[in-house]
Amino acid sequence: MLSKIGRNDPCWCGSNKKYKSCHATFDDKIMEAKRLGHIVPPRHIIKTPEQIIGIRESGKVNIAILDYISEHITVGMSTEEIDRLIAKKTQELGGIPAPLGFEGFPKSVCTSINEQVCHGIPSEKEILKDGDIINVDVSTIYKGYYSDSSRMFCVGNVNEEKKKLVQVTKECIELGLEQVKPWGFLGDMAEAVHEHAKKHGYSIVKEIGGHGVGVAFHEEPWVSYITKKGTEMLMVPGMIFTIEPMVNAGTDEIYVDDENGWTVYTDDGKPSAQWEIMVLVTENGHEVLAY
């Protein structure tokens, strides 16, 4: 429930404006949606202008790291080498790798190859081979603010089936992004993503979704990619979250590696692809903060 603020009191967003000329109408729209039975965002996940500036800068660093690693990925390198390069570049840019030590994760980046859906742990034993596809998931803390995005890379001579999976997954992201508008719903985005994947005969992992991000690594809301238009949380200006569907060539069934407790695999051994972007809902639409 939103706490009551006097109309002439300073607005809760830190703008130093009076509430009535800042977020009063905004809060009224949220309360009306709540009365209609919709899920609405709690105030603490709506970012202030100052926070948005900081998160935007963190996103720029995150993009620079992904740009850097895209120039180095090649056949024959280990995923441990990818981890070392990213750790070094993050430090050079004044950042901190957000995954390192997060809930016990041992590395600075997630590297997920072929049938690995997500949370692949870099290793000297894991060598990129001709024809592999790999997701490199970079998350960065910069001056206290978090950013998170990932890209797919085709290594060497990749067959057409894997290339199509990678391309369609990127298209899913782009179609979902078109639905990110203020006063719409997360389900609008999810349906666009899911329908495009299904159209090409692919499935989307149900159990793992996106998340809010910015002042913490993982914040509300949890973001599904299989729900329907008009459902899930109301999107409002100031919300920041990731769009990162995991698209499988075969079944949506998955399992977690028993040995490391992190790496997720497709149950049928078929490849999986994932792109991740971090997006801000704005007054007029959206702004991509990391891609």
- Model pLDDT for residues 73-124, shown as the tens digit of each residue: 999 999 999 999 999 999 999 999 999 999 999 999 999 999 999 999 999 9
- Model pLDDT for residues 110-166, shown as the tens digit of each residue: 999 999 999 999 999 999 999 999 999 999 999 999 999 999 999 999 999 999 999
Average of per-residue pLDDT values in the chain: 96
What's the confidence (pLDDT) of residue 125?
A: 97
Question: Please, what are the domains in the chain?
Answer: 36-290 (3.90.230.10)
Kindly give, in sequence order, each residue whose CB lies less than 8 Å from that of residue 173, ignoring residues fewer than 6 positions away: 193, 243, 244, 245, 275, 276, 277
pLDDT band per the 50, 70, 90 thresholds, residue 209: very high
Instruction: Determine which helix (DSSP H) or strand (DSSP E) holds 175, and give its type and residue range.
Output: helix 160-178
Give which of 70, 248, 246 is closest to 153, Cα–Cα: 70
Give which of 161, 140, 116 is closest to 274, Cα–Cα: 116
